[in-house]
């Protein structure tokens, strides 16, 4: 009987210690964020964000929650960040900068207040911005991206930079975007039919053979040099002021429906000899090859 009582007491003690240990682990998890990347944490310490001042792969969640702007660009003395785990704790940041690192993946699903996101010069192959519905500026140029998820959900987004990536095709199914930069990719097709508020487009040095901007009636600047375009219809783009379409394969071009044009550059299109304009149309800046001319009548 005595042995039974002792065994019962030992069982209770072991159970209590186990429960206390689990409780302590849960408390620690509630208080701290894991920051496995030492370079990431080093910057947080240097900037006074990680208040314990120690590189110990963790920081207080309360420290992270105080931050409105997180700038990881100042990393020359700390090496390059490869792992952004811990970013999920920065739930109140509105601006986030991490350029020229070696980041391959990032989970921004908890950073719902972001309005500015700049992650250019990393190794991202895909990104999901579905939860970042407050984004106004998105700059993810110079990565290895071929897909982007959630673009259609961002009703406040105005400026997007996807240049120097690996996109082969893309649909810009977002009505709010006004500025789209997607140069130096592998684009063979682009659909901007739903981007009805587009004003400025830069898509130089891709592999486009056809484009359709008929739905983008507010378009002011179109820079599309260095593709494989044979034709382009601009009759719906009556607000167009700047058209750069050099180094393509154009054989015809009619700009007579673009009365606001002030800058036209269509040189180095070997088969384009005549550019049609309206009789009273005056374009202050024009760049043509020697074999090209502006004329009201082109055969």
**214 within a domain of the structure (yes/no):** yes
What's this model's pTM, rounded to 2 decimal places?
0.89
Averaged pLDDT of the chain: 92
Tell me how many domains the chain contains.
Answer: 1
Structure tokens at 20: 């206390």
In a domain, 67, yes or no: no
Q: Given pLDDT bands bounded at 50, 70 and 90, which one contains residue 71?
A: very high
Residue in 108, 83, 105 with CA at minimum distance from that of residue 94: 108
**Residue 65: inside a domain, yes or no?**
no
Specify if 233 maps to a domain: yes
Q: 214 lies in which domain range?
A: 190-298
Query: What is the tens place of the pLDDT at every residue in 181-229?
Result: 999 999 999 999 999 999 999 999 999 999 999 999 999 999 999 999 9
Q: Which of 72, 58, 150 is nearest to 108 (CA)?
A: 150
226 found inside a domain = yes
Give residue-wise pLDDT tens across range 97-123: 999 999 999 999 999 999 999 999 999
Q: Is position 41 within any domain?
A: no
Q: What is the CATH number of the domain that holds 194?
A: 3.80.10.10
| Burial of 90 (C-beta count, 10 Å sphere; 0-12/13-18/19+) | buried
Kindly report, residue by residue over 140-157, the tens digit of the pLDDT: 999 999 999 999 999 999
| Contact indicator for 112, 91 with CB cutoff of 8 Å | yes
In contact, 116 and 91? CB cutoff 8 Å:
no
What digits encode the pLDDT tens for the residues 82-102? 999 999 999 999 999 999 999
Assess if residue 176 is contained within a domain.
no
Q: How many CB atoms lie within 10 A of CB 194?
A: 16
> Residue 53 above 70 pLDDT?
yes
Mean per-residue pLDDT for 46-74? 94
Residue 9 has pLDDT above 80, yes or no: no
Between β-strands 242-244 and 221-223, what pairing exists: parallel, antiparallel or unpaired?
A: parallel
Assess if residue 211 is contained within a domain. Answer: yes
């Amino acid at each position: 009987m005595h042995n039974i009582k002792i065994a019962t007491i030992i069982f209770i003690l072991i159970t209590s210690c186990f429960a206390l240990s689990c409780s302590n682990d849960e408390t620690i998890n509630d208080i701290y964020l894991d920051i496995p990347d030492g370079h990431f944490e080093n910057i947080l310490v240097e900037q006074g964000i990680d208040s314990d001042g120690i590189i110990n792969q963790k920081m207080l969640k309360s420290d992270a929650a105080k931050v409105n702007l997180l700038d990881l660009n100042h990393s020359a003395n700390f090496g390059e960040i490869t792992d952004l785990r811990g970013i999920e704790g920065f739930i109140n940041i509105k601006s986030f900068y991490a350029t020229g690192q070696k980041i391959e993946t990032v989970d921004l699903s908890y950073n719902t207040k972001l309005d500015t996101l700049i992650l250019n010069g990393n190794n991202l192959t895909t990104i999901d911005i579905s939860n970042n519905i407050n984004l106004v500026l998105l700059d993810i140029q110079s990565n290895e991206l071929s897909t982007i998820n959630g673009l259609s959900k961002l009703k406040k987004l105005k400026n997007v930079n996807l240049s120097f990536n690996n996109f082969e095709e893309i649909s810009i199914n977002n009505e709010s975007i006004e500025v789209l930069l997607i140069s130096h990719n592998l684009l063979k097709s682009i659909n901007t039919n739903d981007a009805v508020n587009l004003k400025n487009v830069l898509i130089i040095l891709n592999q486009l053979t056809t484009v359709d901007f008929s739905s983008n009636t507010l378009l002011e600047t179109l820079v599309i040099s260095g593709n494989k375009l044979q034709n382009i219809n601009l009759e719906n783009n009556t607000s167009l002021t700047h058209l750069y379409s050099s180094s393509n394969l154009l054989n015809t071009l009619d700009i007579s429906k673009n009365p606001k044009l002030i800058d036209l550059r269509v040189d180095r299109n070997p088969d384009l000899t005549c550019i049609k304009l309206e009789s009273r149309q005056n374009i202050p800046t024009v760049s043509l090859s020697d074999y090209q001319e502006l004329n009201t009548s082109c055969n």
